[in-house]
Amino acid sequence: MSSFWSKTAKGVTPYVPGEQPQDKQYIKLNTNENPYPPSPKVLEAIQDAASLLRLYPDPEALELRKAIAKHFGLSHQEVFVGNGSDEVLAFAFMAFFMPDRPVVYPDITYTFYEVYASLFGVKATTIPVREDFTIDIRPYCTDRAGVIMANPNAPTGLLLGLKEVETIVRSNPNNVVIIDEAYVDFGGQSAVTLVRDCPNLLVVQTFSKSRALAGMRVGFAIGSTELIEGLNRIKDSINSYPLDRLALACAKAAIEDDQYFKDITQRIIKTREGTKGALRAMGFNVLDSKANFVFVSHSDIHAAQLFKELRERGILTRHFPRPRIDNFLRVTIGTEEQMSQFIEALREVIADRQ
């Protein structure tokens, strides 16, 4: 604790990202990155954009916003882009909650929400998910607080149907409801179709997972022009250019290559379903994830132990030492080959104990 730190810097408990070790090559199944490279069109776009790097990028990110709008059949005034969806979410907390509007979210969810709530002094209340980690939507339908929810949820991968999302949104006409759809492309139905009808709905998505651009840091939000304007007011008060030229060009190329995107997401979904089957056959409890990861536990070996043994075998997974999920492991879906190696390593770990 330094005496130079502000009260805010002293008070925060920062988010802890999954490890990105530089010491050796691991099979990385710990941070939900895409195992496939981005679209080849992205590489071409970088070449072109690089020649203009002496110039500042477009502060309005107009071309990218238009490309995203076109993809969803909307106008660019309904699209906001940021430096990763984490930044978009931070701006959303500032634009819609800070400091005096409370927010609710599930007790088991993306831990960045509690970091933002604490950093921005937003009063946050968590609502426990059920014993089986599913979400009971009723406590979210009070119109007494903003709502932020990941759908599919993280780290469980469980999905709420569009009807249920719509019920939450429509029951909160006086509060902003943020649906974080970081994983929606792996089997969910997006709530983007509701934004024209629901001015209180903000849908947040990212290029990091389904479009294989985690290294570029591009996220976006879709919502009514009034919500997008609110986000722009915050953005233009912090950083005029959160997206650099390379990021803008990459993301545009990625969203325009829909066929490639569909191909890689379909492959990941297929591998996920195969992995679920293999894990269940080995006695694992596997939640029915609709994301690019699975959330699993085993009755005989604690998740912390599994995490350690897999790491020793060169395979990284994610273990959250938190209440309720301490005995679960989150495993990102890699390539078929990587998942075979993962299953093989698990077999070894289990056999070694007997």
Ligand X SMILES: *Cc1c(COP(=O)(O)O)cnc(C)c1O
Under the rule (CB under 6 A), what is the footprint of ligand X? 32, 84-86, 110, 150, 154, 180, 182, 206, 208, 214, 219
Q: Which is nearer to ligand X, 219 or 230 (CB)?
A: 219
Q: Which is nearer to ligand X, 250 or 345 (CB)?
A: 250
**Beta carbon of residue 210, minimum distance to ligand X (angstroms, whole number):** 11
Which residue's CB atom is positioned nearest to ligand X?
A: 84
Whichever of 151 and 172 has its CB closer to ligand X, that residue is 151
In angstroms, what is the minimal distance from the CB of 281 to ligand X?
A: 28
Q: Going by DSSP bridges, is the β-strand pair 293-298/329-332 parallel, antiparallel, or unpaired? A: antiparallel
Nearest approach, Cβ of residue 208 and ligand X (Å): 3
Q: Which is nearer to ligand X, 74 or 214 (CB)?
A: 214
87 within 8 A of 115, measured Cβ to Cβ: no
Whose CA is closest to 148, among 184, 124, 171? 124
- For the chain, give percent helix, strand, coil, nearest 5: 40, 15, 45
Rounded Cα gap, residues 309 and 313, in angstroms: 6
Q: Cβ 353 to ligand X, closest distance in Å?
A: 32
Question: Toward ligand X, which CB reaches closer, 108 or 306?
Answer: 108
Nearer to ligand X, 206 or 289 (CB): 206
Distance in angstroms (rounded) separating the CA atoms of residues 15 and 30: 15
Check residue 317 and report its DSSP letter. -
Query: How far apart are CB 350 and ligand X at their closest, in Å?
Result: 29
CA distance from start to end of the chain: 47
**Based on CB atoms, which residue is closest to ligand X, 295 or 301?**
295
Report yes or no: 193 and 161 within 8 Å, Cβ to Cβ: no
- The 3-state DSSP class for residue 186 equals helix
CB 28 within 8 A of CB 19: no
Rg (CA), the chain: 20
Alpha helices for 241-313 (secondary structure H): 245-256, 258-281, 303-312
CB of residue 152 to ligand X, shortest distance in Å:
9
- In angstroms, what is the minimal distance from the CB of 255 to ligand X? 14
